[in-house]
Structure formats: structure tokens, C-alpha cells
Structure 1
Amino acid sequence: MASTNRTSPHSESSPTPVPYSNYLHNSWLDFVGNLTLGIITAPYRRTFKLYTWKPLKDISAADGDRRTLVSLVRDWKASKYEELQSVQVASSFCAGATLAVLSWNTIPDAIWVARALWYCSLICSIWAVITSIQQKSILDELLDKDALSEAISEYDLNRTRRVILRYKKKPGIGHWIMIFVWQFPSMQMSYAWCTFLSGLTVYICTPLIRHQAWGDDTKIAIFYLAVGGVGLITFLFSSGFVYAAEKGSERSAQTSRVNADEAGIGASDVESKRSLASNDDKNGDDQTAPRQILRSRALLIDGSSRGSLEHQITSVRRKPTLLI
């Protein structure tokens, strides 16, 4: 008696579906991470994105493309030098302004928060200058502009990439620490100015905060808030316009890429149709050329015959007749 092997549908291995709670958990983690990153980098968001986040992301994605990687590293090194130079100038100016206001004694019994914010501004400015100098020394260890060409060896290119990204195959904790290090001078410079302005506001507005009697200090505080409010509103509006322009530029770049792809396909179709039409016209011209020659000859013959006939008629009309 032959035995039959029956396989139940449940015996086959099927992939276990991932619970929806895991997707929800990951989405919440991404949301919290992006929100935290946005809050921390809010004072210097565009600087962080242009000089640290986007270049390092492009360098990481260009692994294997030698020409693109060399170009990205060369451009990033030049732009990073410019960023660090701007950070040094702005931080030095902020440190000088902070040292100047620390000696103020015009408002008696000022709130201690003002001086605390000024000291924070001073230390942030100092660290911004120190870390920018340190990062310049790291950039000096990389190959110069002339050496960063397509003739660079594979070992030097990989070493340069590891110095910038701090990973070989897969990003780890060292990579994220290096991203934090690369953006640290700009972060300290931005925080220095934020704490300086915050301390200045608290110091000048001390009479309003403590509800002191109306006087010159109160008038100065109101005037300061009016002028500073206009500047703050303008800064917020300009930041919003910059953000909108940035998003518009990204959408425009995506649209242009899509249009370029479609235009490439359409151009090939149009070119093929145009070539077919030109071939048809050429064949038609080859076929109609003898006809046009014969037609022109016929017109000449007809014209000559018509001309002779008209000449005969006019000659008959002009012949003198006898008058009876």
C-alpha cells in the first residue's frame, strides 16, 4: 500500500510579521530624536546642516565612487576652514563684549542670573576659539588641495575618509561623537551669543522684574525691549524665510531631476521621430525631384507655346484691314 505524504499548509515556514507596535515605537524614537536635534541646533541650524551634517552624509554615501569622494572631501575641507575662521572672529568679539559688560554697576542689586549668563557666554566663547584652533590642526593633517585629486592612492583616500567620519564599514558611537566634535565650535559660538543677549536682557530689565518705582532705569528697560523686540521679530522672520527657501530649493532640485529624466526620455523619442521624418522627407524629395524637373519643363513648354499663340493673335489683330 503506497503511503501518501501530506503537507499541511501550516508546516511551511512563513516570515513572522513584525508587530505594529514596533513600527510605532521606531517612529516615536525617530520623532523624539529629530525633535531633540532640532531644539539643540536651533540657534545654528543652517550652519550645522551646511558645514557638518550634509557634507558628512554625502561623504559617507560616496563610498566606492572615487571621483565624487575626492571632490566632496576637497570642498568640505575648504568650507570647514571658512566656518572655523568665522567662528573664531565671532567668538572673540563676543568674549570682548562679555568682559566689557561684566564690569557694569549701573543697576544696583541686579539679578544674579544676568551675571551667570554672562559667565556662561564667556566660557562658551573661549571654548569656541580653542576647539576651532584644534579642528584646524586636524584639517592640517589631511592632504592639501593639490594632493586631493584623482591621482591619490587608495590608502590615503581611505585614511582621509576615516579621519573625517571615524568608521570603516558601519557607523558606530565613534562616528556620532565625531559629528558632535565637528559641529562643537559653531554650537559654542551660537550659545555664547544667546547667553550674552539673555544676560543683557535680564540685567537691563531688572527694574521691571522687581517691580521697582518708575524711573530712568524703567524707561531704559522699556526702550530696550522695544528695539530688541523689533530685532528679534526680524530675526525670526528671516529664519522662517531661510527655512522656506531651503525647503523650496530641495523641492526644486527634486523636480528638476524628475524633469531632466523625463526630458531625456522625451528628447530621445523626439530625436528618433525627427530622424524618421527627415528620412521620409529625403526619400520624398528623391522621388519628387524628377517630377519637379518634368513639371518645370512642361511649364516652360506651355509658356513658350502660349507666348507664340498670343503673338500670333496680336499679329492678326494688328494686320491692316480694307475699308469699304
Structure 2
Amino acid sequence: MLGRRYYIVAVWLRSALRKAGSSSGYAAMGLFTLPYYRTFRQNTLLPILAIVNSANLRKDESEIAAMLSRWRDRKMQELYFVQVAATLLSAAAIGCLSWDTPECEHWIGPAAWYCSLVLSLFSVLLSTSESFIFTTIIQKESQAGSKLQPPVFEHDLLIICRIIKNKDSLRSTNTSSRARSGFFISESEDVIDNDLENGERQQGLEAEASDFSTIDTINDDVEIRVRWNMVFTWQAPMMLLAYSVVAFLVGLTVYVCAPLYGECSYQSKTAISFLATLVLGSICFIWCSFWAYRFVDMEEP
């Protein structure tokens, strides 16, 4: 009886810690994505969550394929924008570094411009790489469009989610399952070696999981979970661009506002005008960024 109580307390404590960790994780994610919060949610987070939820609900595969296609098209447009914007921003940072340096300029100014330049260059490189990946996927789908095959394969979902085979299903798996035409690749987080005999079943599962030539469609024996590492990966170009813009504005502010914190030849009125424009522009940007997405359903075809 006492052991059962300890078990209940342990389960409750684990659940509470998991909820607390999830809440803190979402809070940290909202804080770090604040400079591009709406873009991150509408173009990366919410579409991926919708696709994973639809896969877990075992919706029609053509519908899931359409959701994946719309998400890829949206990301392609975002990556193209990032490439253009980051290229222009890197050119602007290089131009600012060639300006005359005031005697009282703080070191944060040029340091911020150098940071902006580095972040924008990496943003260009990463967005170009991811654009190539999406283009390759789209080309493969168009080439295989005439073949008779299910519209959604597991490798289509692996770029955004983790596919886990249920423990009960793994326990019931025997050697006859190896004769199937395909195997739904699994990534189990639990150790199931206690139920395997002499390691043979585990070796068979690993051998099948490494076979990408034959892949089944979604079935009822798997669980779909968000692959958060891939969420970070697909939003990284926009993240680098956003923080590059922030660093550029910091450097520009330090440079222009030099008369406010030192004895310089520049007039203070110029710095005050710049600060007023920066505040008004920031308010306008934040306000419009919020309301532009407020009543738009980005999941509509």
C-alpha cells in the first residue's frame, strides 16, 4: 500500500515537473523570439503544430500533404525575403563601418555593426541552404507525381516531427513483421531491451529503421511528436536576420547619440531627432506587426 502511494506521488511529481518545464520552455521561446515573434509563430510554429496534430488524429493523407506543401511554399517565400534583406543589411553595415569615427564614440557602436554583419552573412548562407533543400524536395515530388504511391511518406514528416512507435506495438512485433513491404521508421525514447530476447529483435528493428527504400504511410501504431530541433532549424534564418537588425540599430543609435554622452562636435539635436524617429518607427512596427496577423488564418488554402 505504501509503495503504491509512493508510485502515485512520483507520477504526480513527474507530471508537475513536465508541465513546469513545458511552461518555462514556451516562456523562454517567446522571449528569445520577441524580435520576430509573429513571423515565427505564423510561418514556423503554428503550421508545424497543426501538421503534427493532424498526423496524430490520422486525418486524410492528402490533407496532410497539402498542409506540408503550403508550409514549404510559405517557408520558401520567407527564405527568399531573408536572403534579400540580409544581403542589403550586410551592405549597410559595411557602409556604416566606413564612416568617420567620432572621438567620443563608445566601443559598443562598431562592435554592434560587426555583429550585425556576421549575423546577416550567416543568415544569407543558411537561408540559401534551406531553400536548396526545399527546392530539392519539391522537385522530387514533382518527378514522382505520376507514380502510384501514397501522398504522405514518413520522410516527409521527419523534417518537422519525431515518429515514435508505441511500446505495446514494439512488444508485439515478431519476425513476421520483417517480411512486410515497408517499415515505419521509429525513434523510441524508452528503453525496451527487457522485452527483447537475446537482442535479436532490437537488431532487426534497427536494420529495418535504417532502410529508407521502403517506407509505409502513417498507421495507428505510432505517435507523432514535434521535433523541436527542427523547429529551431527552420526558423534560424529569420532569427539571425532579426538579431542582425537589432544589432545594426544598436550600433546606429550609439553612433548618432554620441553627443548625448560625450563632448563631440556633433549637434545634440540630431541625436534627439534620431531617437524620436526610432521610437515612433518601433511603435508603428510593433503595432502593425500585431494587427496584421490578428485576424488572418494562415492555414487557409
Bucket of the pairwise TM-score, normalised by the shorter protein? 0.5 to 0.7
Larger displacement relative to structure 2 (162-171 or 35-44): 162-171
Relative to its length, the structure with more helix (as a share) is 1
**Matches for 1:24-43 after TM superposition, within 5 Å:** 24-43=16-35
Normalising to structure 1: TM-score of the pair?
0.63
Letter in 2 for 1:85: Y
Runs (5+) with no aligned partner, structure 2: 164-184, 190-224
Larger displacement relative to structure 2 (120-129 or 232-241): 232-241
User: CA offsets, 1:56-77, max 9 Å, x none?
Assistant: 2222233343111111121112
Q: Does 1:188 align with 2:236?
A: no
Distance, in Å, in 1 between the alignment partners of 2:44 and 2:277 is 34
Q: Does 1:228 align with 2:220?
A: no
Normalising to structure 2: TM-score of the pair?
0.67
Aligned partner (choices 157, 174, 178) of residue 161 of structure 1: 157
Letter in 2 for 1:113: I
1:162 to 1:26, Cα distance in 2 relative to 1, 3 A: closer
Larger displacement relative to structure 2 (232-241 or 131-140): 232-241
Using the TM superposition, give the Cα deviation of residue 198 of structure 1 relative to its aligned residue in structure 2, in angstroms: 1.0
Using the TM superposition, give the Cα deviation of residue 24 of structure 1 relative to its aligned residue in structure 2, in angstroms: 4.4
Question: Secondary structure of 1:51's match?
Answer: helix
Q: Which residue of 1 aligns with 2:54?
A: 62
1:45 to 1:104, Cα distance in 2 relative to 1, 3 A: same
Question: Secondary structure of 1:107's match?
Answer: coil
1:136 to 1:240, Cα distance in 2 relative to 1, 3 A: closer
Would you say the 8 A contact 1:66–1:150 is kept in 2?
no
Q: Higher relative CO (CA 8 A, sep ≥ 6), structure 1 or 2?
A: 2
Q: Does 1:202 align with 2:264?
A: no
Distance, in Å, in 1 between the alignment partners of 2:188 and 2:118 is 32
1:28 to 1:82, Cα distance in 2 relative to 1, 3 A: same
Distance, in Å, in 2 between the alignment partners of 1:14 and 1:226 is 63
User: CA offsets, 1:77-119, max 9 Å, x none?
Assistant: 2111111111111111111111110011152231110111111
User: CA offsets, 1:18-59, max 9 Å, x none?
Assistant: 466555433432232111101111111121112211222222
Using the TM superposition, give the Cα deviation of residue 178 of structure 1 relative to its aligned residue in structure 2, in angstroms: 1.8
Would you say the 8 A contact 2:113–2:248 is kept in 1?
yes
Using the TM superposition, give the Cα deviation of residue 16 of structure 1 relative to its aligned residue in structure 2, in angstroms: 4.7
Q: Which residue of 1 aligns with 2:227?
A: 175
Letter in 2 for 1:55: P
Distance, in Å, in 2 between the alignment partners of 1:131 and 1:141 is 15
Larger displacement relative to structure 2 (98-107 or 56-65): 56-65
Would you say the 8 A contact 1:128–1:188 is kept in 2?
yes
Distance, in Å, in 2 between the alignment partners of 1:34 and 1:151 is 42
Q: Which residue of 2 aligns with 1:314?
A: none
Letter in 1 for 2:69: R
What count of residue pairs does the alignment treat as equivalent? 238
Q: Which residue of 2 aligns with 1:285?
A: none
Question: Secondary structure of 1:153's match?
Answer: coil
Letter in 2 for 1:35: A
The percent identity for this pair of structures is 28
Using the TM superposition, give the Cα deviation of residue 165 of structure 1 relative to its aligned residue in structure 2, in angstroms: 3.5
For the aligned residues, what is the CA RMSD?
3.5
Q: Which residue of 2 aligns with 1:81?
A: 76
User: CA offsets, 1:168-226, max 9 Å, x none?
Assistant: 5458799322221111111111111111011111111122123x37x643221111112
Distance, in Å, in 2 between the alignment partners of 1:55 and 1:223 is 41
Letter in 1 for 2:96: V
Distance, in Å, in 1 between the alignment partners of 2:151 and 2:279 is 55
Q: Which residue of 1 aligns with 2:210?
A: none
Distance, in Å, in 1 between the alignment partners of 2:63 and 2:110 is 49
**Matches for 1:1-324 after TM superposition, within 5 Å:** 16-18=7-9, 22-63=14-55, 64=58, 65-105=60-100, 107-144=102-139, 146=142, 153-154=149-150, 157-165=153-161, 167=163, 168-169=185-186, 175-210=227-262, 212=263, 216-242=266-292, 245=294
Letter in 2 for 1:234: C
Distance, in Å, in 1 between the alignment partners of 2:73 and 2:14 is 43
Question: Secondary structure of 1:62's match?
Answer: helix
Distance, in Å, in 1 between the alignment partners of 2:269 and 2:91 is 27
Distance, in Å, in 1 between the alignment partners of 2:138 and 2:186 is 22
Letter in 1 for 2:20: W
